[in-house]
Amino acid sequence: MAIIIISRASYSHGRTVAERVAQELNYNCISREVISLAAEEYGIPEKWLKDTIEKGPSILDRFTYEKKKYITYIRSALLEYAIKDNLVYHDFVGTFLLKGIPNILRVLVSATIEERVREMVKKLKISEEQARKNIEKFDRDRKKWAMFFHGRDPWDIKEYDLGIVIGRLSIDDAVKKIIDTAKLPSFQITDEVKKILMDEYLATKVKSDLMNFYSDIEVTADSGIVTVHLQRSIRQQEAITDDIRSILMEIPEIKEVRINIVPI
pLDDT for the residue numbered 142: 86
Summarize the confidence of residues 91-98 as an average pLDDT: 89
HEC readout, the chain: CCEEEEEECCCCCHHHHHHHHHHHHCCEEECHHHHHHHHHHHCCCHHHHHHHHHCCCCHHHHHCCHHHHHHHHHHHHHHHHHCCCCEEEEECCHHHHCCCCCCCEEEEEEECHHHHHHHHHHHHCCCHHHHHHHHHHHHHHHHHHHHHHHCCCCCCHHHCCEEEEECCECHHHHHHHHHHHHCCHHHCCCHHHHHHHHHHHHHHHHHHHHCCCCCCCEEEEECCEEEEEEEECHHHHHHHHHHHHHHHCCCCCCCEEEEEEEEC
pLDDT, one tens digit per residue, over 166-224 is: 999 999 999 999 999 999 999 999 999 999 999 999 999 999 999 999 988 999 999 99
CA angle 107, 109, 115 (to 5 degrees): 170
Residue 64 has pLDDT above 80, yes or no: no
Mean pLDDT (the chain) is: 92
The structural domains of the chain, with segments of one domain joined by +, span: 3-187, 213-263
Residue 63 has pLDDT above 60, yes or no: no
Residue 59 has pLDDT above 70, yes or no: no
CATH code at 213-263: 3.30.70
Domain 3-187 CATH assignment equals 3.40.50.300? yes
pLDDT, one tens digit per residue, over 242-258 is: 999 999 999 999 999 99
Answer positive or negative: Cα dihedral of 127, 132, 138, 140.
negative
Of the listed ranges 19-33, 42-56, 162-176, the least confidently predicted one is 42-56
CB 171 within 8 A of CB 120: no
Higher pLDDT among residues 92 and 84, named by residue: 84
CB 27 within 8 A of CB 179: no
Same fold, 3-187 and 213-263: no
Residue 62 has pLDDT above 70, yes or no: no
Residue 144 has pLDDT above 90, yes or no: no
Confidence of residue 145 (pLDDT cuts 50, 70, 90): confident
pLDDT for the residue numbered 236: 86
Confidence of residue 6 (pLDDT cuts 50, 70, 90): very high
Summarize the confidence of residues 134-152 as an average pLDDT: 87
